[in-house]
Amino acid sequence: MNPPFKAFEPDFENLLRVLRREKTSRPVLFEFILNLDYCREFSNYSVQPEPGSLDHFRMVIDAFKNLGYDYAPVYTWESDLLSFAKGHQDSLASRSQNQGAMITDRKSFENYPWPDARSGNYEIYHKLGEHLPDGMKLLGFSNGGVLENATDIVGFENLCMIYLLDPDLTGEIFRNIGERLIEFYSIVASMDEVGACVVNDDWGFKTQTMFPPEMMEEYVFPFTRRIVEVIHSNNKPAILHSCGNLKKVMNVIIDEP
């Protein structure tokens, strides 16, 4: 007679063991995010909850637990947490990275509505912590990273031109984004309900990095390093997510402490 089926019991320590390159007692699943339709299908919800509602986030937790994960991500873009205003961008089969630019020169930079990183419903993490099954933790991450937000706000081609024609303005754009993301992570990483943070940014595409490695080193990586330092200072691991070919900067990534 086969033994009765044992329900999955999450244990976040398993993911920590993977990150420490230690042996685990069972296979450990990891996925940055799942499609929300799949989350509903594998959750206890028969209909899709209102985006940004408490039930919406609880649905994600239920799905990740039911699918055998030891954590649940908080979909930041479905909340009122730190978000940088962007112009309209068509989203069909694909979207242009030149659409929706709100900063095209110094005047538009000065008029841009920079957000307050400390405003927003950070209480959501505590509320979701009350819904977490025993052994699970939340995975914290931002609504886009340093480079991804810069590209969205300025537009890819325009950012290239500003980089060549006005390095000082380029630095100010990245500083205004980077400092706010550092502040965001300083809040999220300090929460007991959050077990780890993902530093999510799109640095590349199929064949190379989005911008030359020297530009990445000058404008992007300094803020990424500080974000990681903030996460580590709260005794939490930092997990890098980036799309694209990072071959030319891989040594920088690997050699970072």
- pLDDT(207) > 70: yes
User: What are the pLDDT digits (tens) for 35-92?
Assistant: 999 999 999 898 999 988 999 999 999 999 999 999 999 999 888 899 999 887 766 6
Show the tokens assigned to 160: 């290239």
Whether 5 is covered by a domain: the verdict is no
Whether 4 is covered by a domain: the verdict is no
Whether 79 is covered by a domain: the verdict is yes
Whether 31 is covered by a domain: the verdict is yes
Whether 145 is covered by a domain: the verdict is yes
pLDDT at 257: 57
Whether 134 is covered by a domain: the verdict is yes
User: What are the pLDDT digits (tens) for 80-124?
Assistant: 899 999 887 766 666 667 767 899 999 999 999 999 999 999 999
Domain interval for residue 53: 12-84+97-255
Instruction: Give the global pTM.
Output: 0.92
Residue with token string 């990891």: 30
Helix then strand then coil, % of the chain, to nearest 5: 45, 10, 45
pLDDT at 235: 97
Domain count, the chain: 1
What is the C-alpha separation between 184 and 171, in angstroms, rounded?
20
pLDDT at 188: 98
Look up the CATH number of the domain holding residue 149.
3.20.20.210
SS3 state of residue 9 = coil
Whether 131 is covered by a domain: the verdict is yes
What is the C-alpha separation between 42 and 48, in angstroms, rounded?
12
